[in-house]
Amino acid sequence: MQIIRKNFGLKILALALAIVGWAYFRFAANPIFAAHFDQQLSVPITAANLPVGFIAHFTDKEAVVTIANARGEPAIKPDEIKAVLDLSGKGAGIFNVPVQLVAPDVAVQSLSPASVTLTIERIEARSYPLAIHYTGQPGGGIVVGSSSLAPQSVTVHGPSGLLTQVAAVRVDVPLAPSPSALDAMVRPVPVDSTGQEIGDLQVAPDLVRVRVQFVKGTGAGQTP
């Protein structure tokens, strides 16, 4: 008993230090426990410094960032980190651009994707004549007596690649079932060679005046 009581306080302190040291090496070095201090964020990818008159197309819209947070430090908020594609000095073409992080002083463990392949196109404007496209089935011998458009042409703005697909710009007018007059503002639609509308294009003006006179055809309704 005398041996145990001798320097009893020092022995307790040594035992406590040994337990603390064992716990540190047991848990701090364990990747399962260490992973709890990693923070994963999903942040939007944005293009910066794109020259005026150009547009960039890329499919990767978000970047996944893994950050090693120090113990006791508050978690990083998603809006504190930005994933940026610097497009300074780039013209039309295909490029592979690294993703740059704008963030506080943090330890980044991983970033995916690290780079983005994108296409840059020039924004152009082209003039196209307007055409009337009649829809539906004619009935009762009704035909178009006269028609007019104001204006007769429009300007289409958009990426050069899309403009090359434009086969026509038309206004859709339903055929009337009986003699009547149409006077309306109609939206012009750019279409490709198959008649499908091409999106992501701007048409100016966005509405045109269409006037159509539907009349009874000559000899309509007569018995041969």
3-class DSSP assignment, residue 215: strand
Interval 58-113: pLDDT, tens: 999 999 998 887 666 777 777 888 999 999 999 999 999 999 998 777 788 889 99
3-class DSSP assignment, residue 10: helix
How far is the C-alpha of 84 from the C-alpha of 110, rounded, in Å? 16
The domains found in the chain, sorted by start residue, are 10-113 (2.170.120.30), 123-216 (2.170.120.40)
Mean pLDDT of the chain: 84
Whole-number pLDDT of residue 38: 78
The answer for residues whose C-beta is within 8 angstroms of residue 152's C-beta and 6 or more apart is: 129, 130
Q: Which residue is listed with tokens 């026509």?
A: 168
How far is the C-alpha of 170 from the C-alpha of 134, rounded, in Å? 10
Whole-number pLDDT of residue 19: 67
pLDDT of 9 above 90:
no
Whole-number pLDDT of residue 220: 45
Cβ atoms within 10 Å of 106's Cβ, excluding its own: 17
Interval 46-62: pLDDT, tens: 999 999 999 999 999 99
Token code pair at residue 122: 């020039």
